[in-house]
């Protein structure tokens, strides 16, 4: 079970029967608004309240890596493009949809919806 705290800390709870173990995986110093697993469960996307997107690889137990940073408009949401876990798509509050290469954060394509986007 992965979850985040208000302070921007990503936690992992390993639950087995009535026993559990808690581990701090990453501290990104920004409140995390959503956590999304890749389809093959090898990568987590962490989207912050400030609109920054991080990747975290549970098998490597390393630090979260900043993939996308909020520029002119905050990233509202992000998700993986399936199949696989090489690409993600993001949308900003201003309605800009982008496809990203997860390896290095390269923007591959962009589409402006010309409408303000909200999450419900």
**Residue-range definition of the domain harbouring residue 108:** 2-112
**Domain annotation covers residue 119:** no
The two three-digit tokens of residue 16, written as one number:
């087995």
**Domain annotation covers residue 50:** yes
Domain at 12, CATH number: 2.130.10.10
Q: What is the pLDDT of residues 57-82, one digit of tens each?
A: 888 777 888 887 765 457 778 888 88
Q: How many domains does the chain have?
A: 1
| pLDDT of 84 | 75
Residues with Cβ within 8 Å of 20's Cβ and at least 6 positions away in sequence, in order, are 13, 14
Using DSSP, state whether 105 is helix, strand or coil.
coil
CA-to-CA distance for 14 and 7, rounded, in angstroms?
Answer: 21
Which pLDDT band holds residue 120 (cuts at 50, 70, 90)?
A: low
**Domain annotation covers residue 6:** yes
**Domain annotation covers residue 40:** yes
The two three-digit tokens of residue 58, written as one number:
């549970």
Instruction: Indicate if the pLDDT at residue 49 is higher than 60.
Output: yes
Task: Give the residue-averaged pLDDT of 2-16.
Answer: 85
Q: What is the pLDDT of residues 25-35, one digit of tens each?
A: 888 888 888 88
């Amino acid at each position: 079970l992965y979850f985040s705290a208000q302070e921007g800390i990503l936690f992992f709870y390993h639950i087995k029967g009535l026993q559990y173990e808690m581990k701090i995986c990453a501290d990104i110093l920004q409140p995390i608004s959503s956590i999304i697993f890749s389809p093959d469960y090898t990568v987590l996307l962490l989207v912050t309240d400030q609109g920054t997107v991080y990747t975290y690889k549970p098998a490597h137990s390393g630090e979260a890596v900043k993939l996308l940073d909020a520029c002119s408009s905050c990233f509202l949401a992000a998700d993986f493009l399936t199949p696989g876990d090489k690409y993600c798509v993001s949308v900003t509050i201003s309605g800009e949809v982008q496809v990203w290469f997860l390896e290095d954060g390269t923007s591959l394509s962009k589409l402006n919806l010309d409408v303000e986007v909200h999450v419900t």
